[in-house]
A and B are shown apart, each in its own frame.
Chain A
Amino acid sequence: GENVEQHPSTLSVQEGDSAVIKCTYSDSASNYFPWYKQELGKRPQLIIDIRSNVGEKKDQRIAVTLNKTAKHFSLHITETQPEDSAVYFCAASKDFGNEKLTFGTGTRLTIIP
């Protein structure tokens, strides 16, 4: 089955700086890669996703890049703000027929004011 690794497990950045979180996956058939933000005690919220027919996607301060050859994808947050502090999870799945998601281990991001 799919295995998703995520690094780093914790990340602290100064407010206004950029944060980068990286994930690798094992199943070359995976082609859907969402990123979720989870605040304590709350549900995961989809913040951005990418499908294997594109290499990069951007939404305001958030961007995701995908390298299918190397089987890794990354989340980039620019101009970080205190409200970006949360746990971020990457995930991977095949993108059809309600396939299950395999989650990474999570990154606790802390923005230092």
Chain B
Amino acid sequence: GAVVSQHPSWVICKSGTSVKIECRSLDFQATTMFWYRQFPKQSLMLMATSNEGSKATYEQGVEKDKFLINHASLTLSTLTVTSAHPEDSSFYICSAGLAYSGSYNEQFFGPGTRLTVL
């Protein structure tokens, strides 16, 4: 099946620093990738939809200047948390969409990145 990787799997940083998370589709091309945030014991909340070669579409309430998304190729999307603060500590998960011929599609999730901001 389709494989999505994320790097790093966990990161600890100081408040005020920026952190970059990479999401890669390993064996397929993904024109669309999604970034989710999941706080402990909560559901996945979509942050933004990342489209290759164009600007990301952010969900309401998500600051686009704080969460920078770049989807420069069909296999790589990056999320940069700028000036991170403790409240940004969370589990960040990406997914990549694979559109099958015949109209339907499926999303494949990365393993997630646990961010802890001190």
- Assess the A89–B104 pair: CB atoms within 8 A: no
The answer, yes or no, to whether A61 is at the interface (CB within 8 Å) is: no
The answer, yes or no, to whether B78 is at the interface (CB within 8 Å) is: no
- Give the number of residues in B that approach A within 8 Å (Cβ atoms): 24
Interface centre among A34, A98, A104 (most CB of B within 10 A): A98
On chain A, the residues within 8 Å of B95 by CB distance are 101
Contact digits for A91-104, partner B, Cβ 8 Å, 1 yes 0 no: 00001111111111
The answer, yes or no, to whether B42 is at the interface (CB within 8 Å) is: yes
CA distance A26 to B85 in the complex (A): 34
Stretch of B14-22, B68-76, B108-116 on the interface side: B108-116
CA distance A51 to B104 in the complex (A): 9
CA distance A34 to B106 in the complex (A): 9
- Assess the B34–A100 pair: CB atoms within 8 A: yes
- Assess the B97–A98 pair: CB atoms within 8 A: yes
- Assess the B93–A95 pair: CB atoms within 8 A: no
Interface centre among A43, A49, A89, A106 (most CB of B within 10 A): A43
The answer, yes or no, to whether A65 is at the interface (CB within 8 Å) is: no
CA distance A38 to B88 in the complex (A): 22
Contact digits for B23-59, partner A, Cβ 8 Å, 1 yes 0 no: 0000000011010000000111110010000000000
Question: Given contacts A42-B111, A89-B43, are A100 and B106 in contact (CB under 8 A)?
Answer: no
Task: Name the residue on B nearest A106 (C-beta).
Answer: B43
Interface centre among B34, B99, B109 (most CB of A within 10 A): B109
CA distance A41 to B37 in the complex (A): 13
Question: Given contacts A43-B109, A44-B93, A98-B105, are A103 and B34 in contact (CB under 8 A)?
Answer: no
Minimal beta-carbon separation of A31 from chain B (angstroms): 10
On chain A, the residues within 8 Å of B111 by CB distance are 42-43
The answer, yes or no, to whether A18 is at the interface (CB within 8 Å) is: no
Task: Name the residue on A nearest B98 (C-beta).
Answer: A98
On chain A, the residues within 8 Å of B101 by CB distance are none
14 residue pairs of the A-B complex, CB under 8 angstroms, read A32-B104, A34-B106, A41-B112, A42-B111, A43-B109, A43-B110, A44-B109, A49-B106, A89-B43, A95-B105, A96-B103, A98-B31, A98-B97, A104-B43
